[in-house]
Protein backbone atom coordinates (compact mmCIF):
# COMPACT_ATOMS: atom_id res chain seq x y z
CA UNK A 1 0.00 0.00 0.00
CA UNK A 2 2.72 2.36 0.94
CA UNK A 3 4.72 1.74 -2.23
CA UNK A 4 1.63 2.59 -4.27
CA UNK A 5 1.40 5.83 -2.38
CA UNK A 6 5.03 6.60 -3.19
CA UNK A 7 4.42 6.05 -6.88
CA UNK A 8 1.60 8.57 -7.17
CA UNK A 9 3.64 11.42 -5.66
CA UNK A 10 4.57 14.00 -8.30
CA UNK A 11 8.33 14.48 -7.85
CA UNK A 12 8.94 16.65 -10.85
CA UNK A 13 7.58 20.11 -11.48
CA UNK A 14 4.24 20.20 -13.27
CA UNK A 15 4.32 23.98 -13.65
CA UNK A 16 4.55 25.52 -17.10
CA UNK A 17 7.08 28.23 -17.91
CA UNK A 18 4.54 31.02 -17.39
CA UNK A 19 3.23 29.82 -14.04
CA UNK A 20 6.81 29.20 -12.89
CA UNK A 21 7.68 32.82 -13.69
CA UNK A 22 4.51 33.89 -11.90
CA UNK A 23 5.51 31.80 -8.88
CA UNK A 24 9.04 33.27 -8.82
CA UNK A 25 7.68 36.81 -9.14
CA UNK A 26 5.12 36.37 -6.35
CA UNK A 27 7.76 34.66 -4.17
CA UNK A 28 10.14 37.58 -4.83
CA UNK A 29 7.46 40.13 -3.89
CA UNK A 30 6.56 38.17 -0.74
CA UNK A 31 10.24 38.01 0.22
CA UNK A 32 10.66 41.76 -0.30
CA UNK A 33 7.68 42.37 1.97
CA UNK A 34 8.70 39.92 4.69
CA UNK A 35 12.29 41.22 4.73
CA UNK A 36 11.19 44.87 4.76
CA UNK A 37 14.15 46.38 6.62
CA UNK A 38 16.69 44.57 4.46
CA UNK A 39 14.81 45.65 1.33
CA UNK A 40 14.77 49.29 2.44
CA UNK A 41 18.51 49.14 3.19
CA UNK A 42 19.33 47.69 -0.25
CA UNK A 43 17.05 50.08 -2.17
CA UNK A 44 18.48 53.07 -0.25
CA UNK A 45 22.03 52.01 -1.04
CA UNK A 46 21.21 51.61 -4.74
CA UNK A 47 19.37 54.97 -4.77
CA UNK A 48 22.34 56.82 -3.26
CA UNK A 49 24.82 55.04 -5.53
CA UNK A 50 22.85 55.75 -8.73
CA UNK A 51 22.20 59.34 -7.58
CA UNK A 52 25.95 59.93 -7.24
CA UNK A 53 26.53 58.56 -10.75
CA UNK A 54 23.63 60.55 -12.22
CA UNK A 55 24.90 63.79 -10.63
CA UNK A 56 28.28 63.14 -12.19
CA UNK A 57 26.62 62.45 -15.55
CA UNK A 58 24.63 65.68 -15.28
CA UNK A 59 27.83 67.59 -14.56
CA UNK A 60 29.66 65.89 -17.42
CA UNK A 61 26.87 66.42 -19.95
CA UNK A 62 26.78 70.15 -19.13
CA UNK A 63 30.56 70.47 -19.18
CA UNK A 64 30.69 68.81 -22.58
CA UNK A 65 27.92 71.14 -23.78
CA UNK A 66 29.95 74.13 -22.60
CA UNK A 67 33.08 72.84 -24.30
CA UNK A 68 31.06 72.27 -27.46
CA UNK A 69 29.95 75.93 -27.33
CA UNK A 70 33.50 77.11 -26.77
CA UNK A 71 34.72 74.99 -29.65
CA UNK A 72 32.48 77.02 -31.95
CA UNK A 73 35.05 79.79 -31.48
CA UNK A 74 37.36 77.80 -33.75
CA UNK A 75 36.82 80.12 -36.74
CA UNK A 76 38.83 80.07 -39.96
CA UNK A 77 39.09 83.53 -41.57
CA UNK A 78 39.85 84.15 -45.26
CA UNK A 79 41.11 87.70 -45.92
CA UNK A 80 40.88 89.44 -49.29
CA UNK A 81 43.64 91.75 -50.42
CA UNK A 82 41.16 93.63 -52.53
CA UNK A 83 37.39 93.61 -52.50
CA UNK A 84 36.21 90.80 -54.81
CA UNK A 85 33.50 91.41 -57.37
CA UNK A 86 30.04 90.39 -56.09
CA UNK A 87 29.77 87.44 -58.49
CA UNK A 88 33.30 86.27 -57.58
CA UNK A 89 32.43 86.52 -53.88
CA UNK A 90 29.25 84.57 -54.48
CA UNK A 91 31.12 81.86 -56.38
CA UNK A 92 33.84 81.59 -53.68
CA UNK A 93 31.23 81.38 -50.92
CA UNK A 94 29.60 78.51 -52.83
CA UNK A 95 32.89 76.65 -53.14
CA UNK A 96 33.69 77.15 -49.43
CA UNK A 97 30.20 76.03 -48.41
CA UNK A 98 30.53 72.85 -50.44
CA UNK A 99 33.93 72.13 -48.86
CA UNK A 100 33.67 69.17 -46.49
CA UNK A 101 33.81 70.40 -42.88
CA UNK A 102 32.18 73.80 -43.44
CA UNK A 103 29.28 74.42 -41.06
CA UNK A 104 28.49 78.08 -41.81
CA UNK A 105 30.10 81.13 -43.35
CA UNK A 106 29.77 84.85 -42.63
CA UNK A 107 30.97 87.65 -44.86
CA UNK A 108 32.65 90.53 -43.00
CA UNK A 109 32.79 93.72 -45.06
CA UNK A 110 35.43 96.42 -44.56
CA UNK A 111 32.81 98.55 -42.76
CA UNK A 112 31.91 95.69 -40.43
CA UNK A 113 35.63 95.03 -39.78
CA UNK A 114 36.16 98.69 -38.78
CA UNK A 115 33.09 98.58 -36.57
CA UNK A 116 34.47 95.51 -34.76
CA UNK A 117 37.89 97.16 -34.45
CA UNK A 118 36.28 100.25 -32.98
CA UNK A 119 34.36 98.22 -30.42
CA UNK A 120 37.61 96.52 -29.34
CA UNK A 121 39.18 99.91 -28.74
CA UNK A 122 36.38 100.96 -26.42
CA UNK A 123 37.32 104.18 -24.68
CA UNK A 124 40.05 104.98 -27.19
CA UNK A 125 37.87 105.33 -30.28
CA UNK A 126 39.47 108.70 -30.97
CA UNK A 127 42.53 106.84 -32.28
CA UNK A 128 40.47 105.76 -35.27
CA UNK A 129 39.19 109.23 -36.06
CA UNK A 130 39.50 109.95 -39.75
CA UNK A 131 40.43 106.32 -40.51
CA UNK A 132 38.63 104.99 -43.56
CA UNK A 133 37.29 101.39 -43.74
CA UNK A 134 39.56 100.84 -46.75
CA UNK A 135 42.59 100.24 -44.51
CA UNK A 136 41.03 96.97 -43.27
CA UNK A 137 40.52 93.92 -45.51
CA UNK A 138 37.12 92.36 -46.00
CA UNK A 139 36.90 88.67 -45.08
CA UNK A 140 34.88 85.45 -44.85
CA UNK A 141 34.57 83.76 -41.42
CA UNK A 142 34.05 80.00 -41.52
CA UNK A 143 32.62 77.98 -38.60
CA UNK A 144 33.62 74.33 -38.80
CA UNK A 145 31.56 71.24 -38.15
CA UNK A 146 32.18 69.65 -34.72
CA UNK A 147 34.34 66.80 -36.02
CA UNK A 148 36.59 69.28 -37.94
CA UNK A 149 37.54 71.35 -34.90
CA UNK A 150 40.57 69.32 -33.75
CA UNK A 151 44.09 70.64 -34.49
CA UNK A 152 44.83 68.08 -37.22
CA UNK A 153 41.41 68.37 -38.85
CA UNK A 154 41.66 72.20 -38.93
CA UNK A 155 45.10 71.98 -40.57
CA UNK A 156 43.79 69.61 -43.26
CA UNK A 157 40.74 71.85 -43.82
CA UNK A 158 42.90 74.98 -44.15
CA UNK A 159 45.22 73.22 -46.62
CA UNK A 160 42.21 72.34 -48.80
CA UNK A 161 40.77 75.85 -48.39
CA UNK A 162 44.00 77.48 -49.57
CA UNK A 163 43.83 75.50 -52.81
CA UNK A 164 40.53 77.20 -53.73
CA UNK A 165 40.82 79.88 -56.37
CA UNK A 166 40.37 83.40 -54.95
CA UNK A 167 41.48 82.52 -51.39
CA UNK A 168 44.29 84.74 -50.15
CA UNK A 169 45.54 84.84 -46.56
CA UNK A 170 43.97 82.35 -44.08
CA UNK A 171 44.13 82.67 -40.28
CA UNK A 172 42.65 80.45 -37.58
CA UNK A 173 44.53 80.95 -34.27
CA UNK A 174 46.54 77.69 -34.35
CA UNK A 175 47.88 78.08 -30.82
CA UNK A 176 44.42 78.67 -29.32
CA UNK A 177 42.99 75.66 -31.17
CA UNK A 178 45.88 73.46 -29.97
CA UNK A 179 45.52 74.52 -26.32
CA UNK A 180 41.75 74.23 -26.44
CA UNK A 181 41.90 70.72 -27.86
CA UNK A 182 44.44 69.65 -25.22
CA UNK A 183 42.09 70.96 -22.53
CA UNK A 184 39.17 69.14 -24.16
CA UNK A 185 41.12 65.85 -24.22
CA UNK A 186 42.13 66.33 -20.58
CA UNK A 187 38.50 66.86 -19.51
CA UNK A 188 37.42 63.75 -21.42
CA UNK A 189 40.13 61.51 -19.93
CA UNK A 190 39.54 62.87 -16.42
CA UNK A 191 35.77 62.36 -16.88
CA UNK A 192 36.27 58.77 -18.06
CA UNK A 193 38.58 58.00 -15.09
CA UNK A 194 36.16 59.50 -12.54
CA UNK A 195 33.25 57.65 -14.19
CA UNK A 196 35.18 54.36 -14.05
CA UNK A 197 36.08 54.92 -10.40
CA UNK A 198 32.46 55.81 -9.53
CA UNK A 199 31.00 52.81 -11.36
CA UNK A 200 33.48 50.42 -9.70
CA UNK A 201 32.76 51.91 -6.27
CA UNK A 202 29.01 51.65 -6.82
CA UNK A 203 29.23 48.04 -8.04
CA UNK A 204 31.42 47.18 -5.03
CA UNK A 205 29.14 48.87 -2.47
CA UNK A 206 25.87 47.58 -3.93
CA UNK A 207 27.09 44.01 -4.45
CA UNK A 208 28.43 43.91 -0.87
CA UNK A 209 25.14 45.24 0.48
CA UNK A 210 23.27 42.56 -1.47
CA UNK A 211 25.77 39.95 -0.24
CA UNK A 212 25.06 40.95 3.36
CA UNK A 213 21.31 40.75 2.79
CA UNK A 214 21.64 37.30 1.20
CA UNK A 215 23.96 36.19 4.01
CA UNK A 216 21.20 37.16 6.45
CA UNK A 217 18.94 34.74 4.57
CA UNK A 218 21.38 31.87 4.15
CA UNK A 219 19.08 29.59 6.21
CA UNK A 220 16.47 29.97 3.49
CA UNK A 221 19.00 28.93 0.83
CA UNK A 222 20.01 25.93 2.95
CA UNK A 223 16.41 24.80 3.52
CA UNK A 224 15.52 25.14 -0.15
CA UNK A 225 18.54 23.04 -1.12
CA UNK A 226 17.62 20.51 1.55
CA UNK A 227 14.09 19.92 0.21
CA UNK A 228 15.40 19.36 -3.31
CA UNK A 229 15.22 22.76 -4.98
CA UNK A 230 17.44 23.09 -8.05
CA UNK A 231 19.99 25.93 -8.05
CA UNK A 232 17.82 27.76 -10.60
CA UNK A 233 14.73 27.44 -8.38
CA UNK A 234 16.69 28.84 -5.43
CA UNK A 235 18.30 31.66 -7.39
CA UNK A 236 15.36 32.87 -9.50
CA UNK A 237 13.38 34.74 -6.77
CA UNK A 238 16.59 36.27 -5.37
CA UNK A 239 17.61 37.48 -8.84
CA UNK A 240 14.15 38.95 -9.44
CA UNK A 241 14.37 40.64 -6.02
CA UNK A 242 17.77 42.08 -6.97
CA UNK A 243 16.45 43.42 -10.27
CA UNK A 244 13.33 44.90 -8.64
CA UNK A 245 15.44 46.57 -5.95
CA UNK A 246 17.78 47.88 -8.67
CA UNK A 247 14.85 49.22 -10.71
CA UNK A 248 13.16 50.90 -7.73
CA UNK A 249 16.51 52.29 -6.46
CA UNK A 250 17.48 53.76 -9.83
CA UNK A 251 13.99 55.17 -10.49
CA UNK A 252 14.10 56.84 -7.07
CA UNK A 253 17.55 58.24 -7.88
CA UNK A 254 16.33 59.62 -11.22
CA UNK A 255 13.25 61.11 -9.51
CA UNK A 256 15.41 62.79 -6.87
CA UNK A 257 17.73 64.13 -9.58
CA UNK A 258 14.74 65.44 -11.58
CA UNK A 259 13.29 67.10 -8.47
CA UNK A 260 16.65 68.67 -7.65
CA UNK A 261 17.15 69.81 -11.23
CA UNK A 262 13.72 71.33 -11.79
CA UNK A 263 13.58 73.08 -8.40
CA UNK A 264 17.17 74.36 -8.14
CA UNK A 265 19.60 73.59 -10.96
CA UNK A 266 17.44 74.60 -13.95
CA UNK A 267 17.50 78.19 -12.61
CA UNK A 268 21.22 78.07 -11.81
CA UNK A 269 21.89 80.96 -14.21
CA UNK A 270 19.84 83.25 -12.00
CA UNK A 271 22.01 82.85 -8.95
CA UNK A 272 25.38 81.58 -10.20
CA UNK A 273 27.92 84.32 -10.92
CA UNK A 274 29.47 81.98 -13.48
CA UNK A 275 27.03 80.30 -15.81
CA UNK A 276 29.00 77.89 -17.93
CA UNK A 277 26.36 77.26 -20.56
CA UNK A 278 24.62 80.02 -22.49
CA UNK A 279 21.36 78.09 -22.45
CA UNK A 280 21.57 77.29 -18.72
CA UNK A 281 22.12 73.81 -17.26
CA UNK A 282 20.48 71.10 -19.33
CA UNK A 283 18.93 67.88 -17.90
CA UNK A 284 20.15 64.41 -18.82
CA UNK A 285 18.99 63.14 -22.23
CA UNK A 286 16.44 60.29 -22.26
CA UNK A 287 19.11 57.80 -23.36
CA UNK A 288 21.16 58.58 -20.22
CA UNK A 289 18.09 58.11 -17.99
CA UNK A 290 17.40 54.76 -19.67
CA UNK A 291 21.05 53.79 -19.16
CA UNK A 292 20.85 54.71 -15.45
CA UNK A 293 17.70 52.64 -14.85
CA UNK A 294 19.08 49.70 -16.86
CA UNK A 295 22.35 50.05 -14.92
CA UNK A 296 20.44 49.87 -11.62
CA UNK A 297 18.60 46.71 -12.74
CA UNK A 298 21.89 45.20 -13.95
CA UNK A 299 23.70 46.01 -10.69
CA UNK A 300 20.86 44.38 -8.72
CA UNK A 301 21.01 41.30 -10.93
CA UNK A 302 24.81 40.92 -10.98
CA UNK A 303 25.11 41.71 -7.25
CA UNK A 304 22.57 38.99 -6.42
CA UNK A 305 24.07 36.47 -8.84
CA UNK A 306 27.62 36.95 -7.52
CA UNK A 307 26.46 36.67 -3.90
CA UNK A 308 24.31 33.58 -4.54
CA UNK A 309 27.28 31.78 -6.06
CA UNK A 310 29.02 32.10 -2.71
CA UNK A 311 26.16 30.66 -0.70
CA UNK A 312 24.64 27.97 -2.92
CA UNK A 313 26.90 24.97 -2.61
CA UNK A 314 24.63 22.09 -3.68
Helix, strand, coil shares of the chain, percent, nearest 5, are: 70, 5, 20
Our finding on whether 286 is near other proteins (CB under 8 A) is: no
Q: Which residues pair with 77 in a beta bridge?
A: 141, 171
Q: Which residues pair with 169 in a beta bridge?
A: 79
Interface residue with other proteins among 15, 59, 159, 196 (CB under 8 A) is 15
Interface residue with other proteins among 65, 137, 191, 231 (CB under 8 A) is 231
String marking each residue 247-276 x if it binds other proteins according to CB under 8 A: ------------------------------
Q: Reduce the DSSP state of residue 17 to 3 states and report it.
A: helix
Torsions phi, psi for 297 (to 5 deg): -65, -45
CB of 9 to other proteins, least distance (A): 6
CA neighbor of 296 nearest in space, from 264, 250, 254, 231: 250
Our finding on whether 230 is near other proteins (CB under 8 A) is: yes
Nearer to other proteins, 108 or 224 (CB): 224
Enumerate residues 18-37 that contact other proteins by CB under 8 A. Answer: 20, 23, 27, 34-35
Nearer to other proteins, 17 or 130 (CB): 17
Nearer to other proteins, 227 or 286 (CB): 227
Interface residue with other proteins among 29, 195, 198, 225 (CB under 8 A) is 225
CB of 63 to other proteins, least distance (A): 48
Inter-residue contact 220 to 7 (CB < 8 Å):
no
Our finding on whether 83 is near other proteins (CB under 8 A) is: no
CB hemisphere CA count around 204 (13 angstroms): 6
CB of 229 to other proteins, least distance (A): 4
Inter-residue contact 64 to 281 (CB < 8 Å):
no
Inter-residue contact 243 to 76 (CB < 8 Å):
no
In the chain the first and final C-alpha atoms are separated, in Å, by: 33
Q: Which residues bind other proteins (CB under 8 A)?
A: 1-3, 5-6, 9-15, 20, 23, 27, 34-35, 219-220, 222-231, 233, 314
Amino acid sequence: MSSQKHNIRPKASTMGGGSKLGYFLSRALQNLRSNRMVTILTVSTITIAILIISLFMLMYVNLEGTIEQWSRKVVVTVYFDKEPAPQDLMSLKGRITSLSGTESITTVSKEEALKRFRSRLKGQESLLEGVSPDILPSSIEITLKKEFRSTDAVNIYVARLKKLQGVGEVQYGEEWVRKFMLFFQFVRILGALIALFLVLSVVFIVSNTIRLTIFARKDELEILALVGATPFFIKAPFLIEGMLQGAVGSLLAVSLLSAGYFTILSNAGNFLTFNPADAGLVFLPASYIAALVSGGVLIGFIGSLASLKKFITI
